[in-house]
Structure 1
Amino acid sequence: MTGARQSPVAAGSRPALACAGLGLVLVVVGAVLPVPVLYVVGVVLGGVGLTLALRSRAPVVVAVLAGVAVAGAAVALPLLARPRTSGLAGQWEAPAIDGDVLSGRALVSADNTSVDLRTGKTVHLGSVTGGSRWVADDRMLVVRDDRVDSVRLDASARWTWRPRGPQGIRPLAAADGMTVLRTCPTSTSGGSCALVGVDARGHLAWTTDAPGQRSGSPTVTGPVGSLPRVAVLPVRGSGGSFLVDPATGRRTLVPDAATLAVADGPVVVTTVSGGRCVTSLYAGLSPAWTSVSPQVCPTALPSRWFTAEGNLWVERAGAWERYTLAGGSREQVSAEDVPEPGAPGGWTVSVQRLSLWPNPFRGNDHAFVLTLRNPESGEESARLVTDRRPDLLLAARGGVVVREDGRVTRYALDHT
């Protein structure tokens, strides 16, 4: 009995299948190591082997197309597997500068250059060196003992004000083009401290005394280079502070145990009256609202308090309260519901360094992924992927601003 004979077609396909198998092995080895040359050679051998194997069973055109499709997929899939930016759309770019974010509004460098984090506009005070830098009222202020410079963040207006003789100058508030400064004489010039109001053209608008103030007296300003819209002048030993209107220089004395200045906003005053905690918000010389606690006030001084997400958060004796800045409504909250001070725009933000393996072409490289998550649900809202670690400058409900690769970029949340 004669044994079964193998068809010439099957016998002819063995070398082709072996070629395809070798190509598969090289593809795997090239991806794991990673070695791009081995991966590419493997893709070529696999495509050629598959084409030759199919040619004996299908039309030549179909076999060639199948081989090309497999090879193309092997090249494209690793590239497509790279993590990609989602939920964000670029709005503007500006050249990056070294510096700090002041008032949550502008990136400011030591050479008095600012980048507006809302618009990307860059402004440079080239003729001014040194000084302390502040951002308030849509302006950058540079304060020195012999001069004060102001420039709008859109570069539409600029002024310089100089005192009469050397003075120790401290900014206290800025609103509607007006700037409140405390000036105290140096040891050589003599005299007493004063408050001055400088208008939108850099002219002296008003001046008044600064009772109880010395050059070393602490000032009440906002967080991270910011100023409130109402000036606060603590009065030593009185249990109160003067609030000063930037427009007129008029002032009123309010009792306070502690005062909190909101960046580019009002001031919050708290004290104890009749055994109750009394908290008031001042956008001017009269309170916008006052809230009195129903229970006995455990302590006059809050152990922690700050503003975030349109609310005032106050901790006393381990218990937290939340006040809405808009109307002063008050409620007790658990510690788990309290955001971190300075939390980026209500988001949970994380930055991860991810390997690009198994991409054989960039297997030894890494990408950085900045993720915005909803703090309540934990769901991802947006993701930014960059080749270098992004420096998060600002995060708000509308988007993020990052510094990366020599540029500052604002990305808006893409709701499409």
Structure 2
Amino acid sequence: MFLKNVWYVAGWLTEFEPGELAARTIAGEPVVFFRKKDGALTALPDRCPHRWAPLSKGRLEGDDLRCMYHGVKFDAEGGCVEVPGQEKISPQLCLQPYPVVERHQWAWIWLGDPALADPAAIPDCGYLDEPARRFKTGQLDYQAHHALISDNLLDLSHVGFLHEKTLAAPPEGEPGDKKTGQSAGGSAGKRIETGVRYENWRVGDFGRAVIQAKSGGTGDVWSRLDYVVPGVFISRVATYPAGTAEKCDFGTPPADVEPLSDNTSCQAVTPMTERTTRYFFSSGPRKADVTDDEAEGMWKVASAAFDEDLDMIEAQQKIIDHHPGERMAWIDADKGPGMFRQLMAQLMREEGTPVEPFPTRQATADASATAFVEAAE
């Protein structure tokens, strides 16, 4: 019931320590990770083929992993290299390793056909590698379906309400009038090849101290928010001197135009089971824009907002589960989530994966997506 031929974020690289076994459940698949002696990360099914005991309860012996139920031992490529008390080893005892790539501070795993595992398909989260930023990272576990977290990240309209006590500002991308300090351009979201993009300008913004400090008044704020398959959020929010948006004809600012401030975030939604999801998040303001203390203060506010999302979405999931078969109503802000659901359903059909009903209790994910899009149009 999950996409398999995609790259999922398995965890921050710092989570996988040498000499330790790390058990994860990703898109319904139990996986055990460990580092070989050369430091390379490997991943095997967390299931001994003999009696299906979890290999994460086993023991590392150099680059090999021994099941501690009956002592069957495997190498890092999943080959069975020893069965205590016998010489003959059945091919059925071998495991198929999962492709793993370490990139952008994350471990990425491919659960589908290994022949299709192209590292070039990993979303570009290169912001996480930039040394000129004060990056802070975290993660949360949701007792909720992954589609609800994706909906939340694609829905810019909730920020001014759910986060009124934390972020306390209209979201980047909120529709408005460019002459009155509101946003302009791209606020409705649009389909890109692998997901949905929001791109817009907020003109004459008074609300950011860094703008006032560097420009002596107001500035223009440009934001680009991409949400790509299977659930990776890549954002950049940059402030510029007043008038920049108009000079750029409200398009993407040229790379050679230096912003007054620049903040990025990369986030990932990784389903564990049908009702549990792991959410990875980060914040990366430029070192030139904020001190360590200021970055810490920004992080506390953002973390509090993430907790607000968690509380609401888990409560939402409980209500959904109490009302099977009933349909939700839709508003214009649902167009972005609808486009993404539609894309996910398309990819699931293409790889032959059963199209699961997203937690709206409609007939299929595609029907749910169509309802979103048609309502928005």
TM superposition score normalised by structure 1: 0.22
* More strand per residue: 1
Q: Between Structure 1 and Structure 2, which shows a larger proportion of helix residues?
A: 2
Larger Rg: 1
TM-score scaled by length of structure 2: 0.24
